[in-house]
Structure 1
Amino acid sequence: MSVGGSRVENVVLKQFTIHSNLSVPQLIEAALARKEGVLTSAGALQVSTGKYTGRSPKDKYIVREPSVISHIQWGTVNQPISPERFEGLYRKALNYMEERDLFVFDGYAGAGEEHRLAIRVVNEYAWHNLFARQLFIRPSGEAPITRQPDFEVISLPGFKADPLTDGTQSETFIIISFEKRVVLIGGTEYAGEMKKSIFSVLNYLLPLKGILPMHCSANVGEKGDVALFFGLSGTGKTTLSADPERHLIGDDEHGWSDRGIFNFEGGCYAKCIGLSEESEPQIWNAIRYGAVLENVAVDPLSRKADYRDNAITENTRAAYPLEYIPGAVASGRAGHPKVILFLTADAFGVLPPISRLTKAQAMYYFLSGYTSKLAGTERGVTEPEATFSACFGAPFLPLYPSVYAEMLGRRIEEHDAKVYLVNTGWTGGAYGTGKRMKLAHTRKMIAAAIDGTLEDAPFGRDPIFGLDIPAEVPGVPAEVLNPRRTWSDPADYDVCATALAKRFADNFKRYEPELPPEIVQAGPKVE
């Protein structure tokens, strides 16, 4: 077997063992023997990702190859690196692997044979390979994949770049080569880089086939009613889509084709800081043998996980296969969504907990992608930061945001989907003064949106943001629904709301020249 498939020629790998497609118990045994982690009392494998406990967006690159130059939105998100620099690092990586054991997983990204990408993941760590096995789609039965991989991920935490000679900004790098069909990762132990790199690959390839890739979770009811939950990390996609009354399709990444939606993955990657059995029983029970716990504090004697402990990072994570969630949709596929929810963690504490959007507003808020980066999800983020992330996923979008927005707009119109903006962030004041929205209240509001009862409520218009706010939702105190009423001083609310409205307007200026007036005018009113 060769690492790198048919694209690596005349390379002989010596002096190490390739562990190909090991089972979950075999990978756990290897990780324990290599002292990569410990077992918790619940049976999960607890590991540490070292000094990098979140993604490294400033160290992500796309190779500036002839076939992609005119399509990529180059900039701070999609940083270019020359083919020569990449080739140099690639050869160094192959040399680095010559004296190390490697773990290989062959699987898929994308449910359904007509959409799926055959992927090979090559790891230096056994626990990284376990992560890949649980997060990507595993081959059915015992039959191995016989076709050559469409894309390969090579992740080598111990292989570090030299910025002076390799042209990187630090020792860490995440590089995508669309022509070689390789993702090369080095200098970081954070396993989420593998998952998000393949998401970025699909975000480039699928629109060329007329398929909308989405940074969203999805679930479906007994009547086939599909709901999508858009949002950046930490906004509640995994938590809110894991609903005991509905069936989980996937927790983070999906495609929307002419036939409906489909999951990109075979597992879930839940943020678990503050996790409790009472508030999130499905996720709690999924953290068992076969699951991977990243950076979660564990008692050295009892081996019980302490989900309240943020000493290592706020970005504690659990990775587990989709089938660990009761009633999850095994096929990873469903029909067209009727309800779409944009989740935002508003650090200003001024957006309503739920509001109804017109189609023009849906396009405006999708392109804006307002949220807050939560602590630990990226290197250097220590407390919530208000930010705008186009399409609720700018770090993973190689193409221009308008490509994805136009596709979403067409899908909404074709299938008459209802769209709501949901604030899972702060209420009663900004971060540091207000409190985080109660999960129980958010669940009730979302349930009302999905089952249609929310449409029967009286609505009022917010004078600044122009959003339609329901006056009542069963099980939710009326004063919670209007954010201005939750502040001790309404005048302070007005100041903060106006400041956020101006941020929206300033951010949206980049899109105005290419959009129709009704979308530009659908945003907040700034005097």
Structure 2
Amino acid sequence: MATTTAHKTAEIGTMDLSPHGITVTRIKRNPSVDEIYADALSGREPGAIKAANGALVAFSGDKTGRSPNDKHVVRDPETERDVWWGPVNFPLERESFLRNRARAQAFLNAQDLLYVIDGFAGGDPEYRLNVRIICNRPYHALFMHNMLIRPTPEELAEFGEPDFVVYNAGQEAADPSVEGVTSPTSVDLSFADNEACILGTEYAGEMKKGVFTIMNYLMPKRDVLSMHCSATADPETGASSLLFGLSGTGKTTLSADPHRLLIGDDEHCWTDSGIFNIEGGCYAKTIDLSEEKEPDIYRALRYGAVLENVVLRDDGSVDWSDSSITQNTRGSYPIEFIENAKVPCVAGHPTDVIFLTADAFGVLPPVSRLTPEQAMYHFISGYTAKVAGTEVGVTDPVATFSPCFGGPFLVWHPAKYASLLAERMREHGVNVWLVNTGWSGGPFGVGARIDLPHTRRMVDAIHAGELADAPTEPDPVFGMHVVTEVPGVPSEILRPRATWPDAAAYDEKAAHLARLFKENFREYEDDCPPDVCTAGPGV
């Protein structure tokens, strides 16, 4: 994998994009970081600013996050039986896809200049895809320069035809008169064509997740587990650890571990020989970022990084706490910007799998050990709880269940990914842990968020093998084995019921969450073994 080169000369001009329906002849293919900055700051990127830390600040318009309700998968005879149709994969007929793609191509053809980013998805050459991004915004070009694996000049010269193409025409609204299109936004994927088409949203994360979704389809066909998780490795043994968790649970934060090598923060695959990162960069949430709490991420946000939807002070510094544009402020940077990143981003088989949950109900233990059956139950459940939204007076947490900790990006039924994980765990004797990064002493509004240093110490203890023989006791409601002693962590916080001033209130809230687990899991019971179905809460 090549390192980022900021000063190389871009390939400009006569690249032939006619196989993709593009007739524009002024093309910048894999331009340098310097050139992208120059274009962005000269007016091609509305509102773009260079922050005091050197990062390029850009704005994604009305959409400051993904649009999962507008994601469509083309229904075709080749793949129809593979796809888990429903609230994750909304079907789109082929004729509708072709009309949307033509609309995207027409928008791109109306531009005087386009950017093409050719890169790889997958750090293992045996499994990687050649990916091509076609876009018109410098911000999008730099974002995918960071997020794909950057080819060397020699690899770029031999790139050939791409395996997967993304047409990003996000500034052009979709046509709601097209059958299956229900809003001005449409993000469409065709597995038969190996193409994605983006209309009506300029949020850069749609490109990244489009690539991930195609990997989520292709890799299980090759008996490879694709995973929405971060990964680190022991610098001496090369053995890895996986951290699963939904947004806000600490997946990126905890993977930036100075004591371990970073493999990646978000998307990985597990093969017969080990794991590899799908991406060439990281995409971190930056709200309330501080150098003290997250030094690696803070320092990675420099020249060459993209900052999305942040607010700058008069002196050009970032006001990390300002959420006036969105709570979902983000930073994208090449993985090499993390000092202890392992490049190429491959590692050995995991010794530990950690499920992260930010339990805003405050009833799950800070760290517990799971049996194989419990591991499958919690993997399929994919639980976290978020604090309530912006409605005045509403403080009760909202439970979120996302199968395999990545529901919006799954293609196959969750049971397929779960069975692949079970096979890998059994074969390699993996320890599985549930770590609560949420609340203790009461729910949100009453208790307090578990201190990040305490969570780091728990994760460090897992990686050091200190918890392999630690004392545990069964949780009377949820059944997992609660770890009751962690070196460097106050023992009084490890038993959640004991941290509540009102034990009866704890019991009521725990029973409520247990019922939510059971209600959610009913959807998967028909596809899971009986011992997995009974591995959840006992209420």
Normalised to the residue count of structure 2, the TM-score between the two structures is: 0.93
AA of the residue aligned to 1:104: V
Task: State the 1:513 CA deviation.
Answer: 2.6
Counterpart in the other structure of 1:379? none
Pairing of 1:127-146 with structure 2 (within 5 A): 127-141=139-153, 143-144=155-156, 145-146=158-159
- Structure 2 distance, partners of 1:209, 1:373, is 35
- Bigger mean CA offset, 138-147 vs 278-287: 138-147
The structure 2 residue matched to 1:155, chosen from 168, 171, 180, is 168
Aligned to 1:245: 259
Preserved contact between residue 15 and residue 27 of structure 2 (Cα < 8 Å): no
Does 1:260 find its partner at 2:260? no
1:71 and 2:82 aligned: yes
Tell me the number of residue pairs that the alignment of Structure 1 and Structure 2 aligns: 517
Letter in 1 for 2:86: G
Paired position in structure 2 for 1:30:
39
Out of 294, 307, 315, the residue aligned to residue 293 of structure 1 is 307
Work out whether residues 225 and 270 of structure 2, in 8 Å CA contact, stay in contact via their aligned partners in 1: yes
Q: 1:451 to 1:189 in 2, by over 3 A?
A: same
Q: Does 1:18 align with 2:27?
A: yes
Aligned with residue 107 of structure 2, among 96, 100, 120: 96
Give the SS at the match of 1:165: coil
User: What corresponds to 2:136 in structure 1?
Assistant: 124
- Residues 1:60 and 2:71 aligned together: yes
| Alpha-carbon separation, structure 2, partners of 1:5 and 1:353 | 55
Q: Is contact 1:471-1:481 (8 Å) kept?
A: yes
Identify if the C-alpha distance between structure 1 residues 409 and 49 changes in structure 2 by more than 3 Å, giving closer, same or farther.
Answer: same
**Residues 487/152 of structure 1: CA separation in 2 closer, same or farther (3 Å cut):** same
Residues of 2 paired with 1:422 and 1:324: CA distance? 27
Q: Is the 8 A contact 1:352 1:469 kept in 2?
A: yes
- Please give the residue correspondences for 1:377-396 in structure 2 after superposition, counting only pairs within 5 Å: 385-396=398-409
RMSD: 1.8
User: How far has the Cα of 1:180 moved from its partner?
Assistant: 1.5
Determine which of 456, 465, 480 is the counterpart of 1:467: 480
Matching of residues 19-418 of structure 1 within 5 Å: 19-33=28-42, 34-36=44-46, 37-100=48-111, 101-141=113-153, 143-144=155-156, 145-165=158-178, 167-222=180-235, 223-299=237-313, 301-372=314-385, 385-418=398-431
Q: Which moved more, 1:208-217 or 1:383-392?
A: 383-392
SS of alignment partner, residue 67 of structure 1: coil
Distance 2:163 2:385 in 1: 35
Work out whether 1:426 is the aligned partner of 2:439: yes
The superposition leaves residues 411-464 of structure 1 with CA deviations (integer Å, 9 ceiling, x where unpaired) of: 000000000001112222222332222110100011111111112321111100
Q: Which amino acid aligns with 1:169?
A: T
Unaligned runs of 5+ residues in structure 1 are: 377-381
User: 2-side partners of 1:208 and 1:310: how far apart?
Assistant: 41
CA contact (8 A) 2:17 2:23 kept: no
Q: Is this contact kept in 2: 1:47–1:292, CA < 8 A? A: yes
* Displacement of 1:3: 6.9
Deviation per residue, 1:290-325 (Å, 9 max, x gap): 0000111111x3100011111111111010000000
Structure 1 counterpart of 2:516, from 487, 493, 503: 503
Q: Structure 2 CA distance, aligned partners of 1:383 and 1:207?
A: 38
Is the 1:233–1:373 Cα contact (8 Å) retained in structure 2? no
Q: Distance in 1 between matches of 2:34 and 2:447?
A: 45
CA distance in 2, matches of 1:189, 1:488: 47
Q: Amino acid of the residue matched to residue 139 of structure 1?
A: P
Structure 2 contact 282–335 (Cα < 8 Å) conserved: yes
